[in-house]
Amino acid sequence: MSNKNDLQERLCYKNENAFPKQTDKQKAEIFDFCEDYRKFITAAKTEREFCEASVRELEKAGFVSLESKKSLKAGDKVYTVNRGKGVMAVVIGSEDITDGVNIVGAHIDSPRLDLKPNPLYEDGGMAFFKTHYYGGIKKYQWTAMPLAIHGVAALADGTQIKIVIGEDADDPVFCISDLLPHLAVAQMSKKLSEAISGENLNVLVGNIGCDDPDIKEGVKFAVLKLLNEKYDIVEEDLLSSEIEVVPAFGARDIGLDRSVIGGYGQDDRVCAYTALRAVTEMKKPVHTSVCLLVDKEEVGSMGATGMQSRHFENVMAKICSLCKEDYNDITLRETLSNSTCLSADVGTAFDPNYPEVSEKKNSAVFGGGLVLTKYTGSRGKGGASDACAELVAKIRRIFNDNNVKWQMGELGKVDCGGGGTIAQFVANLDIDVIDAGVPLLSMHSPFELASKLDVFMAYKGYREFYKNN
């Protein structure tokens, strides 16, 4: 009987919740790691904040600014920042850089609400901020909940004013009102996508007006006065600001067993954090280790801080030139062509509350480990890079040899939709790439869910990829 069981185990593939098979020591390690992660994402809710926090972690681990180096040798640890909204950290390996580098690339932007350029207005004795949603959100999820505002105002004289309101215990928070059910007959008969209009996602910021009859729009004026007193800014300064509206609560443990983390922005900061932690542990890898944290993935990876920009390529050119005295353009091309990348982005876990959108056999299991996604895209693999079989086999070997719990998954049933990652843009640089990240529940909501085991296995998988590839 045991021989048959052994044979079945050897022949069959099965993905399942891996928590029960962890020892008490392993569970303690998972929980300790995830407590650090929970605190990190609670404090870093925007790409700028995540970038700043990442630099602090890198410098603690001995990384220095790339701009300070005139040459690079094995073991050197450097980083560079892209416009305050992206970070690239590099540990130089012992092998020639043209043999290729190992990249773990994640994005640090998340779905949210952005203030419009001219946001402040008054109506009905109340002051509001107008917003423009960013990325794929369900609009109804952002009403009737406490919100915070985070961002910067860039003044005409070049100074930057950081703005954070709603995070301290004694701070006020903000809110978008929703319609009471007593009067919502028409609203509740609409499709979910239409029940809340994008132009109705207006954030309540004040109600006390000014009693001076000569002041028009007294509530708006009072809000501007408060902003001026706190931050020394005027309304025109809002035109050159980047201010985001995010949930005003931190990440929390979920469940009686505390096995799950719930929090905002885990797409994709869970993969960004685990990749960051992995690269800080590299001393002198065989192949150069690159942790790439980019912006704008949720809106197509466009712009100077997105993966479609030339920033990554430009930094790699500089890295290559500092590693090799005889650098030329072919050096860069050879380096990229021989490189391998894990596109560290989240996947979706099978949700038994919504089984109709998943094909169970090819869905990731919550708590089943890091999920490899051979291709993303939508329906007929539109927008997919589709990793080659040889790369899947290579990553599979690394993970199996180093006790990384992993699984294979897809983003839902073929005809249900889909989505993309940075993988396709990495592949355009002639780099072998596969998606590898944490499966989530409630993805793109203000409160996403991740299994602590999956979070830890992402960190472990990225670390072993750096060490053993």
Strand arrangement, sheet containing 260-263: 252-254, 260-263, 448-451, 439-441, 347-348
Residue 355: phi and psi, rounded to 5, are -70, -20
Query: Burial of 2 by CB count in 10 Å (0-12 exposed, 13-18 middle, 19+ buried)?
Result: exposed
How far from the centroid of its chain's Cα atoms is residue 160's Cα? 24
Domains of the chain: 9-110+264-468 (3.40.630.10), 112-247 (2.30.250.10)
Residue 77: phi and psi, rounded to 5, are -125, 115
What is the reported pLDDT for 230?
A: 94
Chain segment 61-115, per-residue pLDDT in tens? 999 999 999 999 999 999 999 999 999 999 999 999 999 999 999 999 999 999 9
pLDDT in tens, the chain (469 residues): 567 778 887 888 888 899 999 999 999 999 999 999 999 999 999 999 999 999 999 999 999 999 999 999 999 999 999 999 999 999 999 999 999 999 999 999 999 999 999 999 999 999 999 999 999 999 999 999 999 999 999 999 999 999 999 999 999 999 999 999 999 999 999 999 999 999 999 999 999 988 888 888 999 999 999 999 999 999 999 999 999 999 999 999 999 999 999 999 999 899 999 999 999 999 999 999 999 999 999 999 999 999 999 999 999 999 999 999 999 999 999 999 999 999 999 999 999 999 998 989 999 999 999 999 998 877 778 778 889 999 999 999 999 999 999 999 988 888 887 788 999 999 999 999 999 999 999 999 999 999 999 999 999 999 999 998 7
d(CA 41, CA 33): 13
Residue 71: phi and psi, rounded to 5, are -155, 165
d(CA 159, CA 143): 33
Q: What angle do CA 458, 461, 467 make, to 5 degrees?
A: 140
What is the reported pLDDT for 135?
A: 95
What is the reported pLDDT for 385?
A: 85
What is the reported pLDDT for 133?
A: 97
Contact 208, 127 (CB under 8 A): no
pTM: 0.95
What is the reported pLDDT for 90?
A: 98
d(CA 47, CA 421): 17
Chain segment 117-163, per-residue pLDDT in tens? 999 999 999 999 999 999 999 999 999 999 999 999 999 999 999 99
Contact 395, 343 (CB under 8 A): no
d(CA 172, CA 208): 14
Residue located via tokens 């899947």: 392
Compute CA distances 273 → 107, 134, 415, 436, 463, whole Å: 10, 22, 32, 14, 12
Residue 244 one-letter amino acid: E
What is the reported pLDDT for 422?
A: 92
What is the reported pLDDT for 249?
A: 96
Q: Is 359 left (phi over 0), alpha (psi -120 to 50) or beta?
A: beta
What tokens were used for 119?
């946001």
What is the reported pLDDT for 214?
A: 83
- Helical H segments across 232-338, by residue range: 235-238, 266-280, 311-323, 329-337
d(CA 49, CA 163): 11
Bond before 268 cis per omega within 30 degrees: yes
